[in-house]
Amino acid sequence: MRLALTLATLLLLAFSAGAQAPPIRIGFASAMSGPAAITGEGVRWGATLAVEEINAKGGVAGRKIEAFFADNKAQPGEAVSAVRKLADVDQVDVIIGQTHSGACLGAMPVVKEIGVPMVIEACSHPKIRELSGKGGNEWTFRVALDDEIMAYTFARYMARQGVKSSSILAMNNDFGRGAAVAYDAAFKKANIQLLSTEFFDPGQPDYRPVLTRLKRANPETILAVILASDGAPFMRQFRELGLTQRVFSRGSLGSAEFLHQVRDNPKVGDGVVEASYWITGLDPEWDKKWTERYKVPPRIHGSLAAITLKWAVVPALEIALKKHGKADRPTIRTALEEVDVKDSPLGPIKFDANHQAWINMILIEMRDGQLRILEKLPTSPALLN
Amino acid sequence: MISDVLEQLLHGLTLGAMYAMVAAGLALMLGVARLINFAHGEFFMLGAYAFWFGYSELGLPYAVAALLAPAVMVIFGVAYQRGVIRAILPRSWHVQLIATLATSIVLTNLAIIVLGAQPKEVPTVLSSRILDVGGLRIAWQRLLVLAASLLIFWGLHRFVGRTRTGRAMRAMSQNREACAVVGVDVQRTAMVTFALSAALAATAAALVSPLFNIFPDMGTTLTLKAFAAVVAGGFGYVNGAIAASFLIGLTEALAGSYVSYAYKDAIAFLIMIAVLLWRPQGLFGRRIGI
Amino acid sequence: MRRAGWLGLGVIVVAAPWLVAAAVPRQQRYVLHVLIFTALFAALALSYDLVVGHVGSLSLAHPAFFGVGAYAAAILATRAGWPFLAGLPAAALAAAGVAALVGVPLFRLTEHAFAVGTLGLALVASVVANNWVEVTRGPLCITGIPKPTLGPLAVTTLPAFYWLALAALVAVGVLYRGLTTFRLGRAFHAVRDNEPLAGAAGIDPLKYRMLAFTIAAALAGGIGALYVHYLSVMCPEEMTVALTVNLLVIVFLGGVGSLRGVLVGAVLFTALPEVLRLAPTWRLVIYGGLLLLVIVRSPEGIESLLRRVTGARAGR
């Protein structure tokens, strides 16, 4: 009896709380636990900060935003659970995620089944582009560039620098393996000889054996597919062993996060050229807010999630509310197709027929503890030829 | 070519030293107290963080911070013994395994929550200075690891062989029931064993962290490899565990460099499985005692 | 529980999809998804309990057998076009084959070495799955595994899959019950409780341990096949050592060696996170804490509490 009364009271309170226009619910899915937990932490931080920022300015067309989080553990099976949780339990109107390619691919059929739009902030598998958009999965959109696009562009840049040979060192996960396949093909097209490919388990910090393998293969350059937290021990041991190859990287080696990890000796990262689409400095106000709140330099996945929210999803919400008068899932999906932002920190955001946004690629050089943009390259489908 | 092999040998010895310090503690606990401790890697991890706190946050000199780590972990070891071990010691080893595994999960995830998932770097003077001998390049810290571990093993040998507590430990590992009868303080000896194990792991952490980095999950693979060494060496036989550890470290370094880097972490277990297939009682046979 | 109670429970369990649709219409797909996972986990835990609870061998290799079955089914379905009804027994057989192969040397070891040996096996299997890209595609995962077809019936909707998983659970449960009672069950228990005596009484411990081990592996492999056909992807992360931890929690929380206990454990293990709704890392802290508490205070698990409450006869 008492239980029934308590439940009834709670229900009443719950219903009465939603008296004003209900907030728009946005779900964020990433790896909140497991070996890739650091990416999820970044996404959570970035999302929280961005949502606060938006709500402080009055929300979107007068409606506040509410963030919900789910853990995909960087695995496709869990990504399915995460999407279902966000869509069915938290009743979100749109999802931003999944950060990791395997999780993205696992989630895609489910968002289609449920009918909830998902805007991908970081997954880099080329298959995602092939499977999305007209004639495919109409519920998935991607802001990030994939490995095929980046590899072709980067390899051509390397060739222009006179590079003749390379070895790949990549993370042994979906990101690294996918990138290795993409660069293998791209190097062939750019006439760069691929001498060897090595994989390492992210999180394990002992690179000596693989560094001696690389020394023996004797390439001119190393293409490192690696994140900042692994990059720090890697570069220290690289210097310890006295290797002299030029390091080209893809991931987050050339980043403020890396420089923070090696702040005792920033020269450890000298000469690294990173291919990316995000860097601190694209949005100095954001960097400042992040550093003030979290006491560390901004991280890539968190910043990507925030940018996706602010420059892709929010414009779509505005279009949905102003043009169509509502912000439910199908309307948000239609609105996303109409988004045409010219000046986000990443460049233009406009989704093509495959629901892919062609943002800018940036080449960054690390030297003396500083990051310098070498080239900012606009991208387009023509790059793939 | 030669310097290449030498480099790998040195690296393998460094790894082996690290594994040996951790495995020795594990073997001690197994031999003396009949305790399976699946949270042993967390002694290493927490010791590393204690070292980091002393060195990075408090700014203590390296030697002081390196001694702070085992000191903190001795206290932790005693608390762990009082809190968890005492309840599970008289129970079956199934219970011990699962209880310590559960503790490991709790400790690892609490570390993620409290300390964050971002790895901590603790470069020291010795880890940044490189010794260059005719093409062979090695950070001074690695030599420190080797030298310190030799000292520690010698000290351990003397402790177990010469002191009263050491003799009590050996007695307990051979015949526990008889110990109580002849007046050995079983409780106190067990307590000293835990403290010693924890201190060994923490010292290894303080020595090795400057070469790598510190993160909450760093203990889990280490626990498994330490168990592999303990089993291959002959359950509860400390010298066997140490020998097996060096074998694992060397093979990992050599195989990782010359055979396959991706399969490196499976090496420890392949060795263990091979040893068990060849001699099911371990490399040194079913020895009684530590 | 009395007959009528069991019948009532059976009706509720079978009618779950409709009950869920009526009670929580907006969340029904998610709830069904959780129920499917619960059923599969429960079946897997029962197969694990055969080895741990009934012959008393603390094997930590179960993820390897699950993984072998899962990958076998995935590869046969995607590369050889095998239908589900052919892939399922093939997966079970593959897993059983591996178990028979490794079981012989493993069971020669002492208990402790056996545990660590099986752990090593699970780890090596995990590393191989992650790196043998030619076969398993490593971290890129095997994708596009089709939904299962049972002859003319295609299992495409969530309720349909729920009933399939439920049927599997019932089948495993019946097999479990059959294997652990009658003379065979008594032989298993004799080996578990007093191996030398069993040997003296003419019960060959090695033979019975191998039997339980191989059957358990076959079941794990079969459940692996069901799992991949549900998720339509298979990645190396699905067969890591973490799976052993989950199974240990279910079995020991629920009640090792008891059908009811393991079932309760599985339900709690999968339902609890949904109730808790905490950040994932806190969830893991709580699992660990709960496991620790239960194993120390009440190693018979929840089953012992249930027994005391219902005052029932011994469930072993």
pLDDT at C311: 67
Contacts of C26 (CB under 8 A, 6+ apart): A88, A91
Question: Taking Cα atoms as reference points, which of B96, A330, B95 lies closest to residue C252?
Answer: B95
| Sign of the Cα pseudo-torsion (C239, C244, C249, C252, in order) | positive
CB contact C204 to A (< 8 Å): no
pLDDT at A68: 95
How far is A252 from A231, CA to CA, in rounded Å? 8
* Alpha-carbon C142 to chain mean position: 22
Residues 314-353 of A with CB under 8 A from B: none
Give residue A307's identity as a one-letter amino acid code: I
Calculate the dihedral angle through the C-alpha atoms of A220, A223, A228, A233, rounding to the nearest 10 degrees: -50
Between the alpha carbon of residue B98 and those of residues B64, B220, C251, the distances in Å are: 36, 14, 11
- Cβ-based contacts of A260 with chain B (< 8 Å): none
Q: Residue C172 above 90 pLDDT?
A: yes
Calculate the dihedral angle through the C-alpha atoms of B279, B281, B282, B287, rounding to the nearest 10 degrees: -140
Give residue C219's identity as a one-letter amino acid code: L
How far is A101 from A121, CA to CA, in rounded Å? 11
The rounded mean pLDDT for chain A is: 90
CB contact C246 to A (< 8 Å): no
Calculate the dihedral angle through the C-alpha atoms of C15, C20, C23, C29, rounding to the nearest 10 degrees: -160
Q: Residue A19 above 70 pLDDT?
A: no
Task: Output the DSSP codes for B72-107.
Answer: HHHHHHHHHIIIIIHHHTTS-HHHHHHHHHHHHHHH
The encoded tokens of residue A281 equal: 């400095």
The answer to whether residues C51 and C231 touch, using CB atoms and an 8 Å cutoff, is: no
**B253–A208 CB contact, under 8 Å:** yes
CB contact B256 to A (< 8 Å): yes
Q: Cα angle vertex A32, ends A34, A122, to 5°?
A: 105
Tell me which residue has tokens 């897997």: C44
How near does any CA of chain A get to the CA of B199, in Å?
23
Tell me which residue has tokens 């239960």: C294
Q: B142-151 long-range contacts, Cβ below 8 Å, gap at least 24?
A: B142/B10, B142/B11, B142/B14, B142/B211, B144/B207, B145/B14, B145/B17, B145/B18, B145/B207, B145/B208, B145/B211, B146/B10, B146/B13, B146/B14, B146/B17, B148/B203, B148/B207, B149/B17, B149/B18, B149/B20, B149/B21, B149/B204, B149/B207
**C112–B235 CB contact, under 8 Å:** yes
**A88–C29 CB contact, under 8 Å:** yes
Lowest-pLDDT range, B229-243, C197-211, C260-274? C260-274
pLDDT at C196: 87
| Sign of the Cα pseudo-torsion (C299, C302, C305, C307, in order) | negative
The answer to whether residues B10 and B144 touch, using CB atoms and an 8 Å cutoff, is: no
pLDDT band for position C312 (cuts 50, 70, 90): low
With both helix axes pointing from N to C terminus, report the angle between B218-233 and B93-115 in degrees, rounded to the nearest 10: 150
Which contiguous run of DSSP H or E holds residue B31? Answer: helix B2-33
Could you tell me how many residues make up chain C?
316
* Alpha-carbon B234 to chain mean position: 16
Lowest-pLDDT range, A264-268, B42-46, B51-55, C272-276? C272-276
Beta bridge partners of A132: A137
Q: Give C279's Cβ-side CA count (13 Å radius).
A: 15
How far is A307 from A283, CA to CA, in rounded Å? 10
According to DSSP, the β-strands at A94-97 and A118-120 are parallel
Give residue A263's identity as a one-letter amino acid code: R
- Cβ-based contacts of B230 with chain C (< 8 Å): 116
Q: Taking the model in full, what pTM does it have?
A: 0.88
Which contiguous run of DSSP H or E holds residue A119? Answer: strand A118-120
Q: Residue A169 above 50 pLDDT?
A: yes
Per-residue pLDDT of chain B (290 residues; tens, 9 = 90+): 777 888 889 999 999 999 999 999 999 998 898 888 999 999 999 999 999 999 999 999 999 999 999 999 999 988 988 888 888 888 887 788 888 989 999 999 999 889 988 899 999 888 888 888 877 888 899 999 999 999 999 999 999 989 989 989 998 888 878 888 888 888 888 889 999 999 999 999 999 999 999 999 899 889 989 988 998 888 788 999 999 999 999 999 998 888 888 888 888 788 888 888 888 777 876 666 67
Start-to-end Cα distance in chain B: 40
CB-CB neighbours of A19 under 10 Å: 7
pLDDT at A17: 46
**Which one of B98, B235, B280 has the shortest CB-CB distance to C291?**
B98
| Sign of the Cα pseudo-torsion (C69, C73, C74, C79, in order) | positive
The answer to whether residues A120 and A104 touch, using CB atoms and an 8 Å cutoff, is: yes
Q: What is the pLDDT of residues A88-104, one digit of tens each?
A: 989 999 999 899 988 99
Between the alpha carbon of residue C277 and those of residues C23, C239, C283, the distances in Å are: 20, 25, 8
Q: What percent of chain C has pLDDT over 90?
A: 45
CB contact C241 to A (< 8 Å): no
- Cβ-based contacts of B132 with chain A (< 8 Å): 242
How far is C279 from C289, CA to CA, in rounded Å? 15
Q: What percent of chain A has pLDDT over 90?
A: 75
**C127–B103 CB contact, under 8 Å:** no
Q: Residue A137 above 60 pLDDT?
A: yes
DSSP assignment, residue C230?
H
Mean pLDDT of A247-264: 93
How far is B206 from B127, CA to CA, in rounded Å? 12
pLDDT at A284: 94
How far is B204 from B206, CA to CA, in rounded Å? 6
Q: Residue A13 above 60 pLDDT?
A: no
**C123–B36 CB contact, under 8 Å:** no
Neighbour subunits, C (≥3 Cβ pairs < 8 A):
A, B
**Which one of A88, A106, A177 has the shortest CB-CB distance to C138?**
A177
Beta bridge partners of A251: A226
- Cβ-based contacts of A217 with chain B (< 8 Å): none
pLDDT at C20: 87
pLDDT at A18: 42
Mean pLDDT of A199-209: 88
The answer to whether residues B43 and B25 touch, using CB atoms and an 8 Å cutoff, is: yes
Q: What is the pLDDT of residues A207-234, one digit of tens each?
A: 988 999 999 999 999 999 999 999 999 9
pLDDT band for position C67 (cuts 50, 70, 90): very high
pLDDT at A5: 56
Between the alpha carbon of residue C183 and those of residues A136, C174, C178, C188, the distances in Å are: 58, 16, 10, 9
The answer to whether residues A124 and A145 touch, using CB atoms and an 8 Å cutoff, is: yes
**B276–C113 CB contact, under 8 Å:** yes
Q: What is the pLDDT of residues A49-58, one digit of tens each?
A: 999 999 999 9
The encoded tokens of residue A332 equal: 């948000």
With both helix axes pointing from N to C terminus, report the angle between B267-278 and C111-131 in degrees, rounded to the nearest 10: 140
Lowest-pLDDT range, A36-45, A64-73, B236-245, C23-32? C23-32
Could you tell me how many residues make up chain A?
385
Contacts of A83 (CB under 8 A, 6+ apart): A29, A70, A95, A107, A110, A111, A114, A116, A118
How near does any CA of chain B get to the CA of C60, in Å?
11
Q: What is the pLDDT of residues C69-122, one digit of tens each?
A: 999 999 999 999 999 999 999 999 999 999 999 999 889 888 878 888 898 899
ipTM above 0.85, yes or no: yes
pLDDT band for position C316 (cuts 50, 70, 90): very low
Give residue A266's identity as a one-letter amino acid code: P
pLDDT at A20: 61
